[in-house]
Amino acid sequence: MPEITYREAIRQALRYQLQNDERVFLMGEDIGAYGGSYAVTKGFLDEFGEHRVKDTPIAESVVVGAGIGAAMAGLKPMVELMTINFSLLAIDQIVNNASKLYYMSNGQINVPLVIRMAGGAGSQLGAQHSHSLESWYAHVPGIKVVVPSTPYDAKGLLMTAFDDENTVIFIEHTALYASKGEVPEDGYRVPFGKLQVFRPGADVTLIGYSGSLHQAFRAAERMAQEGIEAEVLNLRTLRPLDVDGILASVRKTHRAVVIEDDWKFGGFAGEIAAIIQEQAFDDLDAPVMRCSGSDVPMPYAAALEQAALPQEDGIISLAKRIVGGRA
């Protein structure tokens, strides 16, 4: 398989959909002439034309509302919002319309809409461009929340998102766009709600998604040098969540650390910890630990930004604390 970037993997999925489904079109701020804020749609305007690739005003609520209307009318729009922070300007459309129309119409109205947005920090983009708000959307029934960690996942999960008959929130981590991995050239799918055991282990389960998966993996590799074998889980989607996969791993290792860039208070790691405590309490040999971002707006300065994010040393410290006799 060829090795390509996370950015190119997303491009391949979008191009495949545009080439193979005439109902698909893309819309968003600067995605056409400029080529996208993260260069994902660069060249698409020339390749597919203004009918399929539409630049929009800086009005997120209008853009998502238009996407919802187009989806209700039988098209398959992909709306790109520059960052997840800016999606808050469209949260009424997402939460009160896109997520509810299928239910409120008793299944008569579908909203096959894909909303792409960039989240996460590590790129020095400042507090209004750098947060991880995926737990806000995972809280809402009626929408699916996808958080790819690798180029393989990015392409396969985005292909699956276009197959869905209702709204999918697709969140790309800004620090991963240049990362590389092997990706098939065909139009394969990665299923929603099925995690990946990214690294097998027997002593402790490290649960990550998006950017935090790679931190968990690097921490696991370092701990292996000291004889601690950590199992690393790549969640892939937060809603649907692979609860069975999480519980199976925890029942094997009897310990868990959840890693996420989001703030600890009210973050998704707390939901995962609660699920494990409720459904696998008797299998635990230690409390579930969380390694999360600091409770501050994301700093701009590089050193402060890194200090506000979870780090490998913190993951290792928590894992050693709950692996008896290994601290």
pLDDT tens digit sequence for 81-134: 999 999 999 999 999 999 999 999 999 999 999 999 999 888 888 888 888 999
pLDDT tens digit sequence for 199-209: 999 999 999 99
**Residue 226 and residue 108 share a domain:** no
Q: What integer is the mean pLDDT of 282-294?
A: 95
- Average pLDDT in the chain: 95
Whether residue 191 lies inside any domain: the answer is no
CATH number assigned to the domain comprising residue 280? 3.40.50.920
In this structure, what token pair is assigned to residue 36?
């996208």
Does residue 274 register a pLDDT over 80? yes
Least confident of 42-46, 207-211, 282-286, 298-302: 298-302
**Residue 253 and residue 168 share a domain:** no
The predicted pLDDT at position 124 comes to 82
* Residue with token string 């660069």: 42
Is-contact 311 318, C-beta < 8 A? Answer: no
The predicted pLDDT at position 326 comes to 47
pTM equals 0.94
Among residues 155, 182, 209, the one where a domain terminates is 182
CATH number assigned to the domain comprising residue 87? 3.40.50.970
Looking at the annotation, which residues are catalytic? 60, 129
Does residue 302 register a pLDDT over 70? yes
**Residue 159 and residue 42 share a domain:** yes
pLDDT tens digit sequence for 190-201: 999 999 999 999
Among residues 120, 152, 182, the one where a domain terminates is 182
Tell me how far apart the alpha carbons of residues 244 and 172 are, in angstroms, rounded to a whole number.
25
pLDDT tens digit sequence for 47-95: 999 999 999 999 999 999 999 999 999 999 999 999 999 999 999 999 9
Q: What integer is the mean pLDDT of 143-170?
A: 97
Residue 130's domain comprises 3-182
The predicted pLDDT at position 327 comes to 39
Look up residue 317 and give its amino acid: S
Total number of domains in the chain: 2
Whether residue 188 lies inside any domain: the answer is no
pLDDT tens digit sequence for 214-225: 999 999 999 999
Is-contact 167 115, C-beta < 8 A? Answer: yes
Among residues 182, 206, 231, the one where a domain terminates is 182
Q: What integer is the mean pLDDT of 175-199?
A: 96
Whether residue 327 lies inside any domain: the answer is no
Tell me how far apart the alpha carbons of residues 189 and 293 are, in angstroms, rounded to a whole number.
31
Q: What integer is the mean pLDDT of 40-46?
A: 94
Cβ-proximal residues to 59 (8 Å cutoff; 6+ apart), any chain: 89
b/e 204-224 (16+ beta carbons within 10 angstroms → b): bbbbbbbbbbbbbbebbeebe
The predicted pLDDT at position 125 comes to 83
Q: What integer is the mean pLDDT of 305-320?
A: 93
Tell me how far apart the alpha carbons of residues 26 and 31 are, in angstroms, rounded to a whole number.
8
Whether residue 190 lies inside any domain: the answer is no
**Residue 202 and residue 172 share a domain:** no
**Residue 113 and residue 166 share a domain:** yes
Q: Is the peptide bond before 240 cis (omega within 30 degrees of 0)?
A: yes
Residue ranges of E strands in 127-266: 144-146, 168-173, 180-182, 196-199, 204-208, 230-234, 237-239, 256-263
Smallest CA-to-CA distance from 206 within 242, 259, 248 is with 259
pLDDT tens digit sequence for 278-287: 999 999 999 9
**Residue 157 and residue 35 share a domain:** yes
Tell me how far apart the alpha carbons of residues 226 and 316 are, in angstroms, rounded to a whole number.
11
Strands 256-263 and 289-293: parallel
